Amino acid sequence: MSEDVRQRPHIILGQDKDGNTLYFSRIGALNDFLEWFGLDTADQEIKDIMDGDMTVQDFLINIPKSAVNKLAAGVTPAIKSPAELATGQRLYPDIFDPYPTRDRLQNLMSSFGLRNEYDEIMGKPTRPYFENLNTALIYKTDPEESAYYQVLNDKRKFQEKKGDDSKMFFYTKKSNALYNMKLAIKYGDEKARKKYLQEYVKLGGTKDGMKRSLESMHPLYGLNDKDEKEFLKSLDKKEREKLETAIKYYKELMK
């Protein structure tokens, strides 16, 4: 599972037929209380301090920030959603580090628990609709996909420590079309695949552009030879295994 889920109280309910882990994470008031003081992930943050990935000062700064994020998360969608719709930035889970959304209306519908319905109506890439109905009570996660995004997050932190701030980016209509096409392939949604392939070509997309985009999804993309060696050297055994899983996920997705 992803680190943010693994670090917090949760119950594992098994696996589905595709190997996804089923779990439930909202169990009681203790975790809710700890979130106010940034202590819900204290064990991981202590490890980060000991490994040199976080300073004690950063840890202390995170305590009031956690309270602000907790307040922001509790704000009614009637207030928060219009702000996100206007700015095109998603404020959850960290209001101090917002990130752009690919589809503002999709993000708005997600706030009201209607993302699956929105995707279905708008022809977005999606798994069969009825497979998504159980997510109201039980969450699921793909272990290989979780490893992939965790490695990307670790790489981003490494680049930030090196002074490479790559947070500033934005989505274009062409990049969104290509993203949706790749997502449709992953979900086996042939109708959406054709739709977004046509949209990508109409917006000036080329085979070479598609190839470069696919290559940029490699977990280690963006690191030069020196930084890649340094990044690999910084990984412990568990993190190296996670990287191997992430590369395996990337290769399977690219097929």
Tens of pLDDT along 140-182? 677 888 888 889 888 988 887 887 655 545 678 888 898 898 8
Decide which of 90 and 234 is more confident: 234
Lowest mean pLDDT among 99-103, 132-136, 188-192, 235-239: 132-136
Return the pLDDT at 112: 74
Highest-scoring range by mean pLDDT, 19-28, 58-67, 177-186 = 177-186
Decide which of 191 and 133 is more confident: 191
Asked whether residue 220 carries a pLDDT value surpassing 90, the answer given is yes
Are 44 and 5 in contact, with CB atoms under 8 Å apart?
no
Mean pLDDT of 226-241: 91
Share the mean pLDDT of the chain. Answer: 77
The β-bridge relationship of strands 139-141 and 99-100 is unpaired
Return the pLDDT at 12: 82
Residue 66 token pair: 């956690």
Interatomic CA distance for residues 255 and 58, integer angstroms: 41
200 confidence band (pLDDT: 50, 70, 90): very high
Taking each continuous run of H as one helix and of E as one strand, the counts in the chain are 13, 5
Mapping DSSP to helix (H, G, I), strand (E, B) and coil, where does residue 232 land?
A: helix
Rounded percentage of the chain residues whose pLDDT exceeds 90: 17
Mean pLDDT of 65-92: 65
Mean pLDDT of 120-136: 70
In DSSP terms, which residues pair with 141 in a beta bridge?
Answer: 21
Return the pLDDT at 166: 55
Residue 115 token pair: 């993302």
Interatomic CA distance for residues 86 and 161, integer angstroms: 32
Return the pLDDT at 81: 67
Residue 77 token pair: 């969608």
Residue 194 token pair: 């054709």
Does residue 93 have a cis bond before it (omega within 30 degrees)?
yes
